[in-house]
Structure 1
Amino acid sequence: MNPLPALVLLPIMGGGVAWVAGHVRPRVTTTSRDASWWVVLVTLIVETFVLVMATFGHPVHTGPWPGHFSMPWIPAMGIAVRLDMDGLSLSLIWLSLIMCFLCVFLATRQVTVHAGAFRFLFLATLTGIIGTFLATDLFLFFFFWELMLVPMFGLIAAWGHEDRQRAAMKFFMFTQGSGLIMLLSILGLVITHYRQTGVLTFDYFTLAHTPLSPAVSMLLMLGFFIAFAVKLPVVPVHVWLPDAHTQAPTAASVLLAGILLKTGGYGMIRFNIMLFPDAASRFAPIAMGLGVAGIVYGAWLAYAQDDVKRLIAYSSISHMGFVLLGIFTGSRMGMQGAIIQMLAHGLSTAGLFVVAGAIQDRLHTRDMRCIGGLWAAMPRLSGAGLFFAMAALGMPGLGNFTGEFLVLLATWHVSPLPAILAAVGLVLAAIYALRMVNRIFLAAPRTGLQPVPDVASRQMAVFACVMVFLVLLGVYPQPFVTFSAPLPLPVAAMTGPEGATP
């Protein structure tokens, strides 16, 4: 049995069962809510077993990368259901599952209104994300790229906070609009290949060997870049992110920060760098400038926030600037740093959003001016918040430091000035992170605050698992660097009318 189709289909199938389980009893009761929750948990456990098979199994190498699946879909148009997996996609899928377990144990059990529908959309988003990481047919890739937007829109619009409708619409318009620009680039590449060879195909490996003029290559590359820049996000197309994070329910915030932003970095590596290497090299100075601007701008605005979720959202813009910077350094070290930064940022920022969500659930506020002195009342949650804040500011020994250090070192070899400016962002990160810790956890308790319960020990065990991964990324990153490296394109193009391997 090929595990790749199962990886894609299991979440949405489990989501359908969870939706039905949520409707077993018309009235919301603890039993019906727990039924859909247990379905989600079982689905993720089965998905993990399948991913273990894909990771440690030894499939027959019928494609250019170790994991491969292909079957015709629309042969007349050269479209196939083609899935391929290398270390980059595999590591990001593992990150996705870790984030989903974090959500299930800490951020979704309290959902009581239409819990089955919530969990269906949650798992449907996971299907779109995993499909995006595996699809190597460009039409299929676009299909999954758009698929993950619709359930996320529903999660924000239906279960978000006070201004959720506007935030959800802004998120959808930005990501959908940029996705249509990417579709134009996909069609342009396919048509160019068809005119040169007479073969109509959407196969990634075949299209990678299409001869392109410098102007056409740059134009097509920019179409992909815009879509990925919006999702990463890159300044100035970042404006949807703070509102989406602030208004989204905790689980959706974790998915956004922990996984969806990484699809932008993944796309830049897989498509901008690997499909259009010459155009990407010419565009690199602009991309690196945008990365530095995002690092400094995001950190500065994070410092200015009083809403804790907006602070974390702007810090994500800053940290993902390191990903953009590392990808376009044109060096192996920069690429490694960008990938480690994606993994570490997913873990640390997801942890911060869960902590922020727990505070909001207990105190009914996100305003740091109305919080304070939580260390005495909630030492466990405060300890977790302190750890993830230290990871976000780039403390040595934690994963964020490893990624940022590799990116800065690679950038210094290319041009010292961007590296110096990016280092300023690290100084600002330390300032806003420590300021957040002091205002929420260490300051004097606010008068009038009611006693609040701390997180349970079993929930701290979930936090501890995420902390262990961050420590491993910081102390011993080499296995992750080797494991997550993207495989190069094959020298010879794949053949076949549907882009499938013969």
Structure 2
Amino acid sequence: MTSFPLLSIVVFTPWIGAVLLAVWRSAPATLSRALAMAFSLSTLLLGVLLWARFDPTQTGMQFEENEAWISSLAIHYHLGLDGLSLVLVLLTGIVTPVALVATWHDPRQPRFVGVLFLLAQGSALGVFLALDFFPWFLFWELSLIPVYFLIKLWGGPGATRAAYQFVVYTIGGSAFLLLAFAALLATTGTADFVALAQLAASGELDVTLADVGAFWPTAIFVGVFLGVAVKVPLWPFHTWLPPAYAEAPTAASMFLTGVMSKMGVYGFLRLLWPIFPEQLHRAAPCLLWLALAGVVFGALAAMRQRDLKRMVAYSSVNHLSYCLLALFAVAAATGTPAYDRASATAALSGTIFQVFNHGLSAAALFYCVGLLEARSGGRRGLDDFGGLRTIAPIFAGLAGIALFSSLGLPGLNGFVGEFLIFRGVFGLAPWAAGVACLGLLATAWFLLTFWQRVFHGPKAGATLAGFRDVHRSEYLALLPLVALMFLLGVAPQLLAAIFNPLVTAWAGAAVMP
């Protein structure tokens, strides 16, 4: 264990804030909000400290903490950080405080809201930093509890059903995940991700599992796959997402799309790829079709929506499916004559860029839809608005930047990830990239429709009565996200420097590490 447990401090500081707010029952609303924000911002501050001390040329884990926890079950408290983890820690540190800003004008139980958000934030950080399955799975499951209550207690008319659906789907996938790792632990004697990856790289893992039964490696792979596929979600496991995102309060929708959906993509990179490279390679040609279905059908479903929040929800299915498309394209080509190192590097870099950039743009879009809903008495239909550019020009400008970032406009952050993904997939599976272009066209259609109807269409008089432009606290939510959209659009190397050596090592390995 390192002499200073910096990663533990990153994970547990939000939980300390949650405990403080929970026991301080007499805390005034203003103080509760301030404390929640201060503890939430700790992740960003500590993330920047980690970034300053991080050595990107080392592709292994840094700042490791590894102590025996339950020796009889070979369970360790093992934390570690690489370029992938650092990107997601920084994303969590940005999105969560911004989501908390969205709760400032809601008078309903601000102390309890702060507790729930800090619990969810700490759980997500644990997922991104834990390297032993047992603590990792605890964080994975604990993240469901606060989000469930955020949806159920502060959501829309269908919030109860949406919250139950969200939990049932995710726990259903987690049950397969738990069984798979229990089998791994019983067979290999370890559930440590690093140790299992080393066994897989040497070929010893498949031999050990095959000694139990020829079907055993595939069965365990399927269990892990189902657990992380539901979380992304990969089509057709996506049906819980639109109602959960649409019924959740604005702040919870921002956290769900900005942070929690990234836990699923992280699971593919941290669990499936290093531990089951051969099984993923064999399954990848079929999985490519599922990713393409998410890209194309997600965009087409968004086109059909009249509810703006459901439109943005389906766009999340579309955008995260690009990440899986890139991963599966590289996995399918690995070890074949079609494998091209430069294309694989581009695809994997694009995946990490897309994870980070989508977290920013989707959180901003949900916040903008939330402002529309709050200012119009609960309306959020595509045809409920019009001509807002003349009434609220600053709001229109900021929302437009978020829309065009999501669209992938060159000069904004969304372009970088999508360009690299298509560059990589075209070099590995050109037919898949060609089909995915249909999703790009549909994405442009529904996002431009959103922009034209809401901000440039005929004025919807009654809805716009008293509609005001952005005020002080709303700037605190939108300006940081918009600034990062511009910054990463023109200087993506700032983020790429964190993970480039890691991705280059992945692409250069015969078996993806």
TM-score computed with the length of structure 2 as normaliser: 0.89
> For residue 192 of structure 2, what is the aligned residue in structure 1?
203
For 2:230 and 2:194, how far apart are their aligned partners in 1? 25
Tell me, yes or no, if the aligned pair for 2:44 and 2:94 is still in contact at 8 Å.
no
> For residue 9 of structure 1, what is the aligned residue in structure 2?
12
Q: Deviations over 1:406-429 (max 9, x none)?
A: 111211112221101111111111
> For residue 424 of structure 2, what is the aligned residue in structure 1?
410
> For residue 121 of structure 2, what is the aligned residue in structure 1?
126
| Match 2:26 to one of 21, 24, 40 | 24
For 2:486 and 2:219, how far apart are their aligned partners in 1? 41
Q: Deviations over 1:297-344 (max 9, x none)?
A: 010010111100000000110111101011122222211111111111
Q: Spell out the pairing of 1:89-238 with structure 2 (5 A cutoff).
A: 89-105=85-101, 107-193=102-188, 200-208=189-197, 209=199, 210-212=204-206, 213=210, 215-238=215-238
> For residue 443 of structure 1, what is the aligned residue in structure 2?
457
| Match 2:359 to one of 346, 361, 364 | 346
Alignment of 1:276 with 2:276, yes or no, is: yes
Q: Which ranges in structure 1 are unaligned for 5 or more consecutive residues?
A: 26-31, 194-199, 492-502
Tell me, yes or no, if the aligned pair for 2:235 and 2:290 is still in contact at 8 Å.
yes
Aligned-pair CA distance for 1:250:
0.8
Question: Which amino acid in 1 is paired with 2:126?
Answer: G
Alignment of 1:483 with 2:483, yes or no, is: no
> For residue 429 of structure 1, what is the aligned residue in structure 2?
443
| Match 1:72 to one of 45, 53, 68 | 68
| Match 1:454 to one of 469, 472, 476 | 469
For 1:335 and 1:398, how far apart are their aligned partners in 2? 19
SS in 2 for 1:352: helix
Tell me, yes or no, if the aligned pair for 1:3 and 1:51 is still in contact at 8 Å.
no
Q: Deviations over 1:274-310 (max 9, x none)?
A: 1111111111112211111100001001011110000
Tell me, yes or no, if the aligned pair for 2:14 and 2:42 is still in contact at 8 Å.
no
SS in 2 for 1:367: coil
Tell me, yes or no, if the aligned pair for 2:113 and 2:150 is still in contact at 8 Å.
yes
Alignment of 1:394 with 2:435, yes or no, is: no
Q: Spell out the pairing of 1:224-373 with structure 2 (5 A cutoff).
A: 224-330=224-330, 331-363=344-376, 364-373=378-387
For 1:351 and 1:175, how far apart are their aligned partners in 2? 25
Q: How many residue pairs align between the two structures?
A: 475
- The percentage of aligned residue pairs carrying the same residue is 31
Q: Deviations over 1:143-192 (max 9, x none)?
A: 11101011111110111111100000000000011011111111121122
Tell me, yes or no, if the aligned pair for 2:99 and 2:477 is still in contact at 8 Å.
no
For 2:403 and 2:59, how far apart are their aligned partners in 1? 42
> For residue 488 of structure 2, what is the aligned residue in structure 1?
473
Tell me, yes or no, if the aligned pair for 1:380 and 1:460 is still in contact at 8 Å.
no
For 1:122 and 1:176, how far apart are their aligned partners in 2? 20
Aligned-pair CA distance for 1:62:
13
For 2:58 and 2:278, how far apart are their aligned partners in 1? 29
TM-score computed with the length of structure 1 as normaliser: 0.91
Coordinate RMSD, CA, aligned: 2.1
Q: Spell out the pairing of 1:491-502 with structure 2 (5 A cutoff).
A: none
> For residue 30 of structure 2, what is the aligned residue in structure 1?
34
Question: Which amino acid in 2 is paired with 1:65?
Answer: M
For 1:340 and 1:220, how far apart are their aligned partners in 2? 29
